Amino acid sequence: MGFIHNQASPSHTGIRTVGVEKVCNFSIDSDLCISIATWNMNGQVTFEDLAEMVGSNREFDLLAVGLQEAPPCPRNKVAAMLSAALDESHTLIGKVIMQSLQLYLFGPKDARSFINELKVDKQSFGGCGGIIGRKKGAVAIRINYKGIRMVFISCHLAAHEHNVEERNSQCRHISHRLFSKFWNPYSRPSHITIWLGDLNYRLQGINTYPARTLIHQDLHRRLHNKDQLLQEASRGQIFNGFCEGTLTFKPTYKYNKGSSNYDTSHKVRVPAWTDRILYKIEDENKMEASLHSYESIDKIYGSDHKPVKAHLCLRLRQIPTKT
């Protein structure tokens, strides 16, 4: 797919931080509105947590939910719980599952009539992430919906602060290999790629207690320059040309399960924004995107991660016809 590079180029821009436009005039100002959620579940699931993550607002066309470390539930249980949380306002139109890595795409009840293409793919990395059944890699859905070509990628990358280069390599591998078996020289590129998941990039060069002090003082914006994902993107290693909302929410990892208190185990891990949602418009002359929310959900306590959500609206630009 060719959208992640391993070295800086003259066109290198890194990740562009974008602001949030609070008001979304659903179905008036946009061709398509997408709600996106990512959550590392730490092997646990309850209907109440999924319902809280989905929320009560239904002002979107598509809902993409990427899960990491999803529990080994009976087949289709998580999909059924998500459908119930949506209260039948939207129906499941696509899914791809690779053990604990799962991606679900929901649309309105008449969505099938608007789908021109839907393919899924997956890429795994060796091993089980230390715990049997907890898979590292990526799962993806490619869809043409109402003439808008989209790729959704949900990933779980290598853990630990020192494994930066391994995460970079995994990003590039995912980018180059996903959907490669479907490639043909006549296929058109996607209008937009949306990448979500537990990317596992940590804070670099700060100890846990100074970081926590800034967070408790609501000064976590001062930690942005310590974020490995933004650092590596600025070096031209990954995610060149992608956009991300401003990190106004607190780092989403690592919490004590059942609380909103950061890790009090003997490891006292440094908090980090491991859970992210990024997007890239392939040709800004053909499409524009506006971000209307980018937030974590603090009210969910069932995991050592907090879920992250975004609301993204797309509009195809009208290209003047030649006369």
Contact 62/34 with Cβ under 8 angstroms? yes
Name the pTM for this structure: 0.93
User: Residue 64 pLDDT > 50, yes or no?
Assistant: yes
Take residue 277 and report the two structure tokens written for it: 């949602």
pLDDT, position 45: 92
- Which CB contacts under 8 angstroms, 24+ apart, belong to 223-231? 223/251, 227/201, 227/203, 227/272, 227/273, 228/161, 228/164, 228/167, 228/201, 228/202, 228/203, 228/204, 229/15, 229/199, 229/201, 229/273, 229/276, 230/14, 230/15, 231/204
DSSP 242-302: -EEE---SPP-B-B-TTSS-B--STT-PPPB--EEEEEEES-TTTEEEEEEEEEE-TT--S
Q: How confident is the model at residue 136 (pLDDT cuts 50, 70, 90)?
A: very high
User: Residue 90 pLDDT > 90, yes or no?
Assistant: yes
pLDDT tens digits, one per residue of 194-227: 999 999 999 999 999 999 999 999 999 999 999 9
Residue carrying structure tokens 């992250």 = 308
Say what percent of the chain tops pLDDT 90: 82
Q: How confident is the model at residue 131 (pLDDT cuts 50, 70, 90)?
A: low
Mean pLDDT in residue range 300-322: 87
Q: How many CB atoms lie within 10 A of CB 165?
A: 11
Task: List, in order of start, the domains of the chain with CATH numbers.
Answer: 16-316 (3.60.10.10)
User: Residue 11 pLDDT > 80, yes or no?
Assistant: no
pLDDT, position 13: 78
DSSP state of 89: S
The upper half-sphere exposure of residue 151, i.e. CA atoms within 13 Å in the direction of its Cβ, equals 25
User: Residue 75 pLDDT > 60, yes or no?
Assistant: yes
Q: How confident is the model at residue 135 (pLDDT cuts 50, 70, 90)?
A: confident
pLDDT, position 27: 66
**What average pLDDT does the structure give for the chain?**
90
CA trace torsion 262, 267, 273, 276 (10° rounding): -110
User: Residue 317 pLDDT > 60, yes or no?
Assistant: yes
pLDDT, position 8: 42
Percent composition of the chain: helix, strand, coil (DSSP 3-state, to 5): 20, 35, 50
Q: How confident is the model at residue 318 (pLDDT cuts 50, 70, 90)?
A: confident
Which residues, including other chains, have CB under 8 Å from residue 136's CB and lie 6 or more apart?
101, 124, 125, 127, 129, 156, 157, 158, 170
User: Is residue 313 helix, strand or coil?
Assistant: strand
Mean pLDDT in residue range 112-138: 81
